[in-house]
Chains A and B, each alone.
Chain A
Amino acid sequence: MIGITSYGGYIPRMRLNRGVVYASNAWMAPGLIGSANGERSMANWDEDSLTMAVEAARDCLSGTDKTQIDAAYLASVNFPFLDRQNAGIFATALNLKESVESADFTGSMRAGLSAVLAGINAVKSGDYKNVLVAAGDRRITKMAYLHELWAGDGAASLLLGSDNVIAEYKGAFTVTNDFVDHFRGQDQKFDYNWEERWIKDEGYLKIAPKAIKGLLEKTGVSGDKIARFIMPCPMGRVAAQIAGKLGIGPDKVTDNMHAVCGDTATAHPLVMLVSALENASPGDKLVVASFGQGCTAMLFEVTENISLMKNKCGIKGSLADKKPEGNYIKFLSHRGMLEQDWMMRAEGNWRSALSTLYRHQKEIIGLVGGKCKTCGTEQFPKADICVNPECLAVHTQADCEFSELPGKIMTYTSDLLTYTLDPPAHYGMIVFNNGGRSMFDFTDYEPGKIEVGLPVQMVFRIRNFDKPRGFTQYFWKAKPVITGEEA
């Protein structure tokens, strides 16, 4: 049996009330009212498609042996790099083994499910035992455009393999068709979209049913046996109309999460699939489909192992950890949509020495430190000479991953002087519970609620943008653990 063996999800904490987007734009775009209900997820300024995918994958990999992963596939239509493999950064951040295969999937809203299908096929071929797939998207849309309301930011991840399968793979069917509902040409910041009614009638309602019908016929399953029909479409009732054409009951159609999150682009089939798996029972047959220059549809059947997923944060957990945001200007600012005066301190030169980055890639991208074989001291960064003054042994340190280790705040401040895209900057000394410490930026904190001793977890984030060169710098930050509280 092959299929999904684990899942993870990540929806950023901030949720923008769509009403404020409407209120700011109603003077020019009163029609937005039709989609202005609920809230959309909003990445922090230091999050992008890649960092969110890393978070989802960390959730997915919790409790698994990541040395057994043979391939890492990453999907997005908003990768930070056009030419530098994003999956390579992803694999380094997760500290996967060097002999892992890695690939980026992009170019279509379908890329997320394409990556899953490629992973399944790789496992089916027998070449790979375990394939990690993640998709993340933080879409940049024009102000006052419908997609600004429809889109959300988020990521999801699946582990594919044959051990402890939680949802068995039953088959897939794809239709490829260069139907251009929207596109983004080279050097363009924004998508260009055609009329929604045409996209619905000629696109979703004609092309998607071909793929799903093909899937049902290929696998010999009739529509009425499907427990969940999972197909992202920001246009409200379209998925139900498609389901109706195929004999799938309207109650089986999975909600597109418009009210709580918005459409996360390539990640959304995975986000909705993870959300469905969180509520699934053994024996449930799930169809997941993704539309974009055609349509791919896959069938999974949930197994008894689904109970092993109880400790995942998943989509449910990250949706619950939320902070309402009512500031549209802040939303736009975080997405680089505004020309603001950040003052002269923002003019610094943030060029990364690539040769330095390469020598320290495990430290910078993977938060890998050292553990002295002589005295056992865990330390960050890893160094030639042990930091323990009673030891000082030379060349004794083995790799020690700090990214998953719990820590707490030892010193801190909130700094109104220094440059950050979300002032005041909060940073301080983090002490890891098993030893090792360093200075880190804080992120996703509650202002005024930082104190010495507060527990933190480490998260992979954007450190800075080198704008003149188009290079995004990544490092790890400390995120205070907020327990049992919705801000």
Chain B
Amino acid sequence: MADGIRDKVAILGMGCSKFGERWDCGPEQLMVEAFEECIKDAGIGRNDIQAAWFGQCYDEIGTGKGALGLGMALKLPYIPITRVENFCATGTEAFRGAVYAVASGACDFALAQGVEKLKDTGYGGLPAIDGVNSGSLNGQTMPNISAPGAFAQLASAYRAKHGVSWNDLKRAIAQVSVKSHANGAKNPKAHLRKPVSIEQVMASPIIADPLGLFDCCGVSDGSACAVVTTPEIAKKMGKTNLVTVKALQLAVSNGQEVGYKDWDGSYFATTRKAAKRAYEEAGIKNPREELSMIEVHDCFSITEFVTYEDLFISPEGGATKDVLDGFYDAEGKIPCQIDGGLKCFGHPIGASGLRMLYEMYLQLHGRAGERQLKDPKFGLTHNLGGFPFSNVNAISIVGRYA
């Protein structure tokens, strides 16, 4: 009987590029920037890496298809490299591949690296989905959905379900962005580093009702990576204060939300499934009490908002109270997006999951500078890719090695 991933793999080192509009860099340079930090932190040589997982979503504006992009950029020694793409969970998927490889005993050191060079798109926002890049059938039937338009749907259903007015929900989700900007201002690697007021957020131009510009995360270039090994090897290398993987869960929609009668449109069915499994895998009984910090997928403020409930931290219908009470602030019970989140880092798809883990890793090692939280034990990261009605959800929990 499988007993899960808990404490089988340790993070040996991590790196993260500066995120932003990196007009000076292609995906290759971004990867090298993150990798140099990571390999130094890990204390191994490039040729010690035995396998790698490469996360990149938009290959057409990145390094192209396949795993060549990573192998060529880092000049890795003819090792097995797998390219993964799983919507916004792409970075976390790269991590999962590397972690599973080490846990299986297939290799001692594995690299997970994600990158996205979004600012070669030519316009703001994510590259548009068109008729030929969304699948040959979707391309003939699906509405021409933008990312903010997809996630804005949540707000309409949440208002209807909980009887919340447009204005009250708008204010609550505005606070989500205000809180993240306050954190991002303290992070030198973040893209957006200016605090904003709730009035500024609420007054920003509407992109997809009710989401305004400041309800949307930034659009940036960036790369992040991790080298993983077993706790035993890490200890032999003299590493202390190990950070280990406690849970890695993924839940993928099967058509029920978009095709069957149960789902009401106001939450993520996948997140609820993956969260339960992740808590069980990590041995967490009461997430509201036991989690020290979370990095959730705040592609849009409403996404983060409903995720508070889907992670069973805020009670159903209780996200408004928690966010307005400061529960998720840096000084709150469970700081959320302590690094600034997607809101301030932007969302270079392939890098985001690893960027979130990077902050958890820094915090658990006490290396988060101005943002350092007091004595964190468990950090949870969460990615949500696709659309509220059909999506990919990834949840990872990392923590101190007991």
Contacts and interface: CB of A to CB of B under 8 A. Distances in A.
Interface of A: 343-345, 348-353, 356-357, 360, 363-364, 377, 379-381, 383, 387-389, 410-420, 424-425, 427-429, 431, 435-441, 452-453, 463-464, 466, 473, 475
30 contacts: A348-B130, A349-B132, A360-B137, A364-B141, A379-B259, A381-B141, A387-B259, A411-B389, A412-B153, A413-B209, A414-B208, A415-B145, A417-B125, A417-B208, A419-B144, A424-B208, A424-B209, A425-B144, A425-B146, A425-B149, A427-B145, A429-B258, A435-B261, A437-B258, A437-B260, A439-B145, A439-B389, A452-B156, A452-B157, A463-B141
A110 B31 CA distance: 68
A349 B258 contact: no
A429 B389 contact: yes
Contacts of B140: 352-353, 356-357, 360, 364, 463, 473, 475
Contact of B123 (A344, A356, A439, A475): A344
A368 B34 CA distance: 51
Given A348-B128, A387-B255, A418 B260 contact: no
Contacts of B238: none
A351 B132 contact: yes
A415 B148 contact: yes
B284 interface: no
- Which of B141, B154, B389 counts the most A-chain CB atoms under 10 A from its CB? B141
Contacts of A420: 144
Contacts of B149: 413, 415, 417-418, 425, 427
B120 interface: no
A463 B154 CA distance: 24
A451 to B, nearest CB: 8
Contacts of B141: 360, 363-364, 381, 463, 475
A464 to B, nearest CB: 7
Given A413-B149, A437-B259, A349 B136 contact: no
Nearest to B388: A411
Query: Would you call the interface of chain B mostly helix, strand, loop, or mixed?
Result: loop
Contacts of A436: 259
Q: With a 10 A CB-CB cut-off, give which of A420, A424, A429, A440 has the most chain B CB atoms.
A: A429
In which size bucket is the chain B interface?
35 or more
Contacts of B388: 411
A353 B142 CA distance: 14
A356 B137 contact: yes
A425 B143 CA distance: 9
B237 interface: no
Contacts of A464: 131, 144
Contacts of A410: 157, 264-265
Contacts of A363: 141
A172 to B, nearest CB: 42
A369 B148 CA distance: 28
A462 B261 CA distance: 28
B332 interface: no
Rank and list the top 4 A-B pairs by shortest CB-CB distance, nearest first. A348-B130, A415-B149, A350-B131, A413-B152
Contact of A415 (B137, B152, B155): B152
Contacts of B139: 350, 352-353
A361 B129 CA distance: 22
Interface string B110-126: 00000000000011010
Given A349-B132, A377-B260, A429-B265, A418 B144 contact: yes
A416 B389 contact: no
Q: Which of A380, A438, A466 has most chain B Cβ within 10 Å? A: A438
B145 A418 contact: yes
Nearest to A478: B143
B385 to A, nearest CB: 17
A165 B260 CA distance: 43
B142 A439 contact: yes
B5 interface: no
B256 interface: yes
B74 interface: no
Nearest to B259: A387
Given A344-B122, A356-B136, A389-B260, A452 B159 contact: yes
A387 B256 contact: yes
A418 B157 contact: no
A191 B300 CA distance: 50
Instruction: Choose among B206, B208, B255 the residue with the greatest number of A CB atoms under 10 Å from its CB.
Output: B208
B207 interface: yes
B160 interface: yes
* Most chain A CB atoms below 10 A, which of B123, B128, B143, B208: B143
Nearest to B152: A413
A479 to B, nearest CB: 14
A343 B123 contact: yes
A429 B261 CA distance: 12
Nearest to A453: B160
